[in-house]
A and B are shown apart, each in its own frame.
Chain A
């Protein structure tokens, strides 16, 4: 089955840019989606289809996907961005299709 690899943690100073990666074999051929999850809350979709933002998500959140790595970029990071972030794809093989999540990255704002 398809595996998505994320760093367990990323730290960034307030006002700087955070980059969270999601690695997968030839991931550029898939659409990658990103979720933000704060403690005790359901996840929130922040980027879909590699780089699109749902309504209400700030422009500070952006995404890219190339080669074997997709990246979620959060600019001008603030305390409110501290959360767990998950990448997700739809994987289709010859005998099965399904949703795959990365292991998640904890973003800490220093």
Chain B
């Protein structure tokens, strides 16, 4: 059974860098794209971007200038960084696996609440 476990700092000040990591257990790491998705309090889902085993990335244009993603194949982990955060970046952040055949998300992490406040 595939499990995604994520962690990272939950409280940031404006202008700091958000950093989250997601570890994949119980399934293959290769052959998939891995995404980050966020949800502001009381709001809908927003896709941040994706990365694959080779480090190929694709980002939401609205966040592209501030987002980097990386992958550590030795640990079956992938990571997200968002620089220069503001209160608008306050959200629950999820990592998720994309299905091979269709770009939909079949496994999700538990979510991490990141709050940006001075």
Contacts and interface: CB of A to CB of B under 8 A. Distances in A.
Q: Do the two chains belong together in a single complex? A: yes
B103 A90 contact: yes
Contacts of B59: 98
B32 to A, nearest CB: 14
In which size bucket is the chain A interface? 20 to 34
A42 B110 contact: yes
Interface string A79-103: 0000000101010000011111111
Nearest to B104: A33
Contacts of B47: 98-101
Chain B interface extent, by class: 20 to 34
Nearest to A34: B104
A86 B46 CA distance: 11
Contact of B45 (A1, A98, A104): A104
Interface residues of chain A: helix, strand, loop or mixed (majority): strand
B58 A101 contact: no
Contacts, number: 60
Contacts of A96: 61
B62 to A, nearest CB: 9
Nearest to A100: B47
B44 A88 contact: no
Given A43-B108, A96-B61, A97-B58, A33 B102 contact: yes
A45 B106 contact: yes
Nearest to A54: B106
B102 A101 contact: no
Interface in A26-80: 31, 33, 35, 42-45, 48-49, 54
Interface of A: 1, 31, 33, 35, 42-45, 48-49, 54, 86, 88, 90, 96-104
Interface of B: 35, 37, 44-47, 49-50, 58-61, 94, 99, 101-106, 108-111
Given A33-B102, A86-B44, A98-B60, 12 more contacts: A31-B102, A42-B108, A43-B108, A45-B105, A48-B99, A49-B101, A90-B103, A96-B61, A99-B35, A99-B50, A100-B47, A104-B44
